[in-house]
Amino acid sequence: MRKTIPKFASWRFAGRLRWVIGGSTSMPRRTAPPHVLLTPFRDSISRMPRAESAYVAGFAAPISKIPDPPRHSAVVRITHWINALSFIGLVVSGFAILLAHPRFYWGEAGGVGTPYVLSLPLPFMRGGPSGWGRNLHFLSAWICVLNGSLYTLSGVVTRHFPKHLLPAKADLAWGSVTRVVSSHLRFERLGVETSLAYNLLQKVTYLAVVFVLLPLMIWTGFAMSPTLVSIFPGFVTVLGGQQSARTIHFFAADLLVLFLLVHIVMVYVAGFRSRTGAMITGHSTARGEHP
C-alpha cells in the first residue's frame, strides 16, 4: 500500500515527473482536470518539448471519465478559500490594531493606570498601525461575514451540516472515539478512506469553529462598536462590559489562529497535495498517492 519513499518527495518529485513526463501509463483514474493540477508546473511544461503532447494525449481522455461526486461541493471550496484570505487579513490587521494598546482589561473601562488582566510584552505603537489595521480589519470582516453567511445558508439548505459535520452515532461509540483520538496522538497517517469523510475530531472542531468561535468573534466585535451597542445594549452588558468584549475577542482570535495552525499541520500529515487539491478542484487525488 504505502510507498517507502517519503511523502514530500513522493509528490514533489516522483509525482511531478510522472505527471509531466510519464503521463498516460501511471495515470490515476480519479483526478482533477489536469489544467488545474498542472498550473504550478506550467512553466516547466513550456520548457519541455514533449510536454504539450503528453498533456493532450495523456490527460484528455480521463477527464470525461470522472464519475465521482466532488469531495467538497463548489460552495464549500469557494467559500473556504475566500474565508482563508479574509481570515489572514483579519489576523494581520487584528495584530496591527493590537499593537496600539497590547493590554487587556475586564469590565466596562480600562486604560494605562488601571488594573489589567493581561499585558503583552509588546511596545505601545500609537498613531500608526491601528489606522490601516482598522481599515483592513473591517474590509476583511465584511468579506468574512458575507462569505460566511453564504456558506452557512448553503450548508443549511443542502444539509451539509447534518450530513457531513454532525457526528454520527457510530462516531460517538466509545471504541471509535478512542481509536480516532489515539491515532491522532500518535500522528498516524490515515488511510485513503479518511479522505472521503470527516472523522469525529474534525467534525467537532469544524462545528466549534463555525458555530461557536466565529459567531463569538462577530458578537464581541459588535460589542466594541458604540453605535451597535446603542441599538442592542445587551450585546455588551451580557459580557460584562466593553473591555471584557475586547479581551474575549482577543482570546477567541487566539483559538482561531491555533485552529489554523493545527489545520495546516493536519493537512500536511494527511497528504498536502490530495487534501489541498480536493479543496481546490473538488476531487481527491488520494488514489494517485496511495496506489
Partner 1 sequence: MSPSVSRRKLITAGLATAAAGSGLAVARRLADRYGLIPPDDGGIYGVGQTLTYASQRLLLRHQTLAREFNPSEISKVCPVNGGPPDSEAYRRLASGDFLDWRLTIDGLVRRPSSFSLGELKRFPSSTQITHQACEEGWSFIAEWTGVPLSYVLNLVGVSARAKYVFFFPFAEKSFPLGKKWGSLDMPEAWHPQTLLAYGMNGQQIPTPHGAPVRLRVPRQLGFKSLKYLSRIMVTDTAKNIGKGWGSSSPEHGFSWYGGI
Residue numbers of the site for partner 1 (CB under 8 A)? 97-98, 100-101, 103, 105, 108-114, 126-127, 130-132, 134-136, 138-142, 224-231, 233, 236-237, 242-243, 246
| CB-based burial, 97-123: b 16+ in 10 Å, e otherwise | bbbbbbbbbbeeebeeeeeeeeeeeee
* Beta carbon nearer to partner 1, 36 or 145: 145
- Least distance (Å) between residue 254 CB and partner 1: 16
- Reduced to 3 states (helix: H, G, I; strand: E, B; else coil), residue 28 is coil
- Least distance (Å) between residue 108 CB and partner 1: 6
Contacts of 156 (CB under 8 A, 6+ apart): none
Compute φ and ψ for 190, nearest 5 degrees.
Answer: -95, 155
- Least distance (Å) between residue 225 CB and partner 1: 4
* Beta carbon nearer to partner 1, 111 or 191: 111
- Least distance (Å) between residue 243 CB and partner 1: 6
* Beta carbon nearer to partner 1, 130 or 274: 130
- Least distance (Å) between residue 119 CB and partner 1: 12
- Least distance (Å) between residue 59 CB and partner 1: 19
* Beta carbon nearer to partner 1, 28 or 102: 102
Q: How far apart are CA 1 and CA 191, in angstroms?
A: 10
Backbone dihedral region for residue 166 (phi beyond 0: left; psi -120 to 50: alpha; all else: beta): beta
* Beta carbon nearer to partner 1, 10 or 93: 93
269: number of Cβ within 10 Å: 15
Backbone CA torsion sign across 112, 113, 117, 120: positive
* Beta carbon nearer to partner 1, 59 or 105: 105
Name the packing angle between helices 242-281 and 74-100 (round to 10°): 140
